[in-house]
Amino acid sequence: MSGKYKRVLLKITGELFGGEDKKGLDFEAIGKFAKVAYQAKQNTGTQLVILMGAGNLFRGREVAGTNIDRATADYIGMLGTIMNALALQEELERLGDETRVLSSLPIPSVCETYIRRRALRHLEKNRTIILAGGMGNPFFTTDTASALKALELDCEILLKGSNVEGIYSADPSKDKNATLYKKLTFQEAIEKGLTVMDNTAFALCQREHISVVVFNIHQPDNIEKIIRGEEIGTLVV
């Protein structure tokens, strides 16, 4: 059975690579995710673009209120995404996948510099693309990078891995009566004040009509189910 989508972008939090503590590099946890992603690709025939976060290594907001320069903090975070991307590449290729790490922050000694036409060519050859380095510039989040790269690489949908089942009416960890939305329009999300992604990324997806699925990344089979067209998490259209 083939997938519903020819090409998808999967945005994942670096915390997934930190194991139970959500810190550092836990190669057992990275290996488990790699197996899930690889099997989803093999079973559906969908071309896969994975964009890395760095929450397991460093978050710029962690130094908010200190004397650390914001731009410097963001560059440190970008370097963290490259570390995560290289770790994921190692685990995917151990499984037999062919991958390329492309970074918007040029570090040619360890990975390719992101060039759109090069990335598209890799996808045509059925290589898994792992994107790192965020936007390559400070003051932009990986949410914005994922929205932009999904558009640049002609992805049909953006999958955003979350620690919860999708988008709720309130924080489910604080409000036991919080309701899970199965489907929303961008306008409904704005009117309800729901946090889907940062404002820049949200506006880009809304303007360019790219749908977003927010889902629980900790359920191993969710990625393949979504690619096959099953209604998992929250769909924002």
Task: Name residues whose C-beta falls within 8 Å of residue 204's C-beta, 6 or more positions apart in sequence.
Answer: 144, 147, 148, 151
CATH number at residue 118: 3.40.1160.10
What is the domain count for the chain? Answer: 1
Handedness of CA 132, 88, 73, 151 (dihedral sign): positive
- Annotation-wise, does 14 bind a ligand? no
Tell me the pTM: 0.94
Query: Residues 6 or more apart from 192 whose CB is under 8 A from it?
Result: 169, 184
In angstroms, the CA 69 to CA 32 distance is 36
Residue 59 assigned as binding residue = yes
Whether residue 136 is annotated as binding a ligand: the answer is yes
Is 139 within any annotated ligand binding site? yes
Is 135 annotated as ligand-binding?
Answer: yes
Report whether 74 belongs to an annotated binding site: yes
Phi, psi of 115 (to 5 degrees): -130, 125
- Domain span including residue 207: 7-236
Question: pLDDT truncated to tens, each residue of the chain (237 aa)?
Answer: 577 999 999 999 999 999 888 899 999 999 999 999 999 999 999 999 999 999 999 877 677 778 889 899 999 999 999 999 999 999 999 999 999 999 999 999 999 999 999 999 999 999 999 999 999 999 999 999 999 999 999 999 999 998 889 999 888 888 888 999 999 998 888 888 887 788 888 889 999 999 999 999 999 899 999 999 999 999 999
Instruction: Say whether 140 counts as a known binding-site residue.
Output: yes
Query: Which whole-number Å values give the CA distances from 113 to 10, 34, 106, 123, 142, in the listed order?
Result: 19, 22, 5, 15, 17
Q: What is the pLDDT of residue 1?
A: 54
Q: What is the pLDDT of residue 225?
A: 96
Q: Decide if 1 is inside a domain.
A: no
Residue 2 covered by a domain: no
